[in-house]
Amino acid sequence: MKASAFSYARATSVVNALELLVAHGDKAKVLSGGQSLMPAMNLRLISPELIVDIGEIAELRGIGVRGDVLSIGALTRHVDLLGSPEIAAHAPLLKEAVAHVAHPAIRNRGTLGGSLAHADPASELPACMVALDATIIVSGQAGERRIAAKDFFTGIYETALSAQELLISVELPVPQKNSTHFFHEFARRHGDYAIAGLAAQAIVEGDVFADLRMAFFAVGDRPVLAKAAKKLVNVALTPAVLSDASTALGEELDPHEDHQHPQQDCARSPTRAVPVGSPSIVVSDPVQAGPLSGASRSGILLGDWCGRGGQRR
Ligand code: FAD
């Protein structure tokens, strides 16, 4: 199938792109890397009358650190995130996660802004933004808005962006030295959309979490920042504490049918894709002290939740 006929405009600046979006309203669509937009058009899931190509707008590119803020332009491609020394140093969670996004051909074209604006609940990068407490910066004719990532994603393929706004960049707080992260996803094959996944960022003091943000993805209509993580903060992680947090997590997460592969039975629940009691596939030494064990413990929760969910169904 081919896309319906459409007009094409190459925006020369953010101001020019916004003028085009305002002039054409809901009939226009922004084009970044095209890795989600073009398939949707070819399948005629959407039929915009005008494509506003922002791919040549230099001001939307780039990764930089200013003080304690890491700034990433909307047009930064997945492959650039993978290769960036700034991302490796200041957002290693993002580097780890982006390696799971699709395959090299898609990572060579797909952009951070496109992934966030597309807001697929099974996507890795939206969950990372929530875990990393990112601020998403959008621009419209009335000026700029700064939106906390946890408020940006509002539903399946829905965000706080209006049709007349552009996602410009994201800002991430540079993590403290005693920070750690954890990323894990269950997928049919490496590069497939996740069946269930977890992106987590933590501050570790001694042998406890001083802060813990766990963002689950592919378990609802948007990334879920787990409230149950609070039960693991400033407390020794005994089996009883883990079990309590895990119970709370099980009540909080309500995975939907897998919308990527609805016809395939084992994908309906993330719980069926992993064996009961799967923590051992995630970590080898769950009680080791220090930052690594902090990361590992998040993994135990995911595995434990998957196992319990499996029994529930
Ligand atoms: P586009 O396709 O250009 O745009 C996507 C949407 O966002 C459109 O609605 C567009 O109008 C809007 N948009 C884009 N940029 C902006 C902006 N700056 N401001 C406002 N609106 C904007 N993604 C994953 O996360 N995980 C995967 O495992 C994965 N696997 C994939 C496998 C395949 C085979 C394919 C084709 C894609 C896969 N993707 C996956 C999607 C891929 O990561 C896309 O790159 C990404 O979702 C969209 O980025 P893009 O730059 O291509 O955006």
Domain 179-312 has CATH 1.20.120.520: no
Closest CA to 261 of 184, 185, 196, 183: 196
Relative to the CA of 102, which ligand 1 atom is closest? Answer: 30
Q: How far is the CA of 264 from the centre of ligand 1 (A)?
A: 24
37 lines ligand 1 (CB under 6 A): yes
41 lines ligand 1 (CB under 6 A): no
Per-residue pLDDT, 257: 54
Q: How far is the CA of 120 from the centre of ligand 1 (A)?
A: 9
pLDDT per residue over 127-173, tens digit each?
A: 999 999 999 999 999 999 999 999 999 999 999 999 999 999 999 99
Q: How far is the CA of 197 from the centre of ligand 1 (A)?
A: 18
Give DSSP secondary structure letters for 83-151: H-HHHHHH-HHHHHHHTTSS-HHHHTT-BHHHHHHHT-TT-HHHHHHHHTT-EEEEEETTEEEEEEHHH
Overall fold of domain 59-173? 3.30.465
Per-residue pLDDT, 190: 82
51 lines ligand 1 (CB under 6 A): no
- CATH classification for the domain delimited by 7-53, as one of 3.40.50.1460, 3.30.43.10, 3.40.50.300, 3.90.1170.10: 3.30.43.10
Q: Where are the domains of the chain?
A: 7-53, 59-173, 179-312
Q: How far is the CA of 36 from the centre of ligand 1 (A)?
A: 4
User: Which ranges of the chain have pLDDT less than 50?
Assistant: 261-313
Could you tell which of 31, 32, 56, 77 is best to mutate to test the pocket of ligand 1, judged by most ligand atoms within 8 Å of the CB? 32
Per-residue pLDDT, 189: 82
